[in-house]
Structure 1
């Protein structure tokens, strides 16, 4: 049973990392290259859609890691799972404190109501997001290492 939990945790976390990586390095670059207001509209829609899904994914990854750490405390690699859990906690804190406030504003913007500094706010969100992606990649790497 613990083996299944380990695999499920790695898969769930890995998929989350993949989505967040592609937001940074694929989707946002596509949005930035679109003409006129299309990119901002795409980011707003993405903020609404992913803003509804990602909190569940982050908390699920963290909860699965915690259960794995507790259930597998006697196994080699438990410290790596705890380290991954700590990094996932950091990613949740980063989300709540840094990214969500910007996302909550950005997901309501249209070309008619967005603030003049909307590009600066999006650039700030991107910088925070790059840091968060690095944190969750490190957490994922620790989980994979603990699995093998």
Structure 2
């Protein structure tokens, strides 16, 4: 049972890291290179799509890592899992406090109603996202290390 929980948690967090790395290093560059208003419309659409999915993924990752820590209490590697769970909680707090407010505005923007500083807001979101990606990469690394 513990092995299944470890694999499920590690794969779930690893896939989340992969998606978030893709968003910041690939999708943003693609959207920014599109002509005219297409990039901004793509950002808004991505904000709606991923904004609906990611809360479940982030919270699910926290719950899975917490369950792993509880199930493995007293085993080698448990402190790494507890630290990873703490980092995942941090990533959720970062999301709620820093990224979601910008995303909630972004996902409603069109070329007709976007604010004058929309690009600066997206750049701020990107900086926060870099930090969040670093946090979840650290959490993933700790979970993998806990398996060793």
Separation of aligned partners in 1, 2:146 and 2:39: 40
Paired residue for 2:94? 94
Separation of aligned partners in 2, 1:132 and 1:124: 12
3-state DSSP of counterpart to 1:82: helix
> How much is the aligned-residue C-alpha RMSD, in angstroms?
0.4
3-state DSSP of counterpart to 1:110: coil
Summarize deviations over 1:79-135 as a string: whole Å, max 9, x none: 000000010011000000000000000000000000000000000000000000000
Taking the TM superposition and a 5 Å limit, the aligned residue runs for 1:45-64 are 45-64=45-64
1:75 Cα deviation from its structure 2 partner: 1.1
Separation of aligned partners in 2, 1:29 and 1:139: 25
Paired residue for 1:113? 113
Separation of aligned partners in 2, 1:108 and 1:144: 38
Taking the TM superposition and a 5 Å limit, the aligned residue runs for 1:31-42 are 31-42=31-42
Which segments of 5 or more consecutive residues in structure 2 lack a partner in the other structure? none
Separation of aligned partners in 1, 2:20 and 2:54: 9
Which segments of 5 or more consecutive residues in structure 1 lack a partner in the other structure? none
TM-score by length of 2: 0.99
Separation of aligned partners in 2, 1:8 and 1:91: 19
3-state DSSP of counterpart to 1:87: helix
Paired residue for 2:70? 70
Paired residue for 1:84? 84
Could you list the runs of 4 or more consecutive aligned residues of structure 1 that deviate by over 3 angstroms after TM superposition?
none
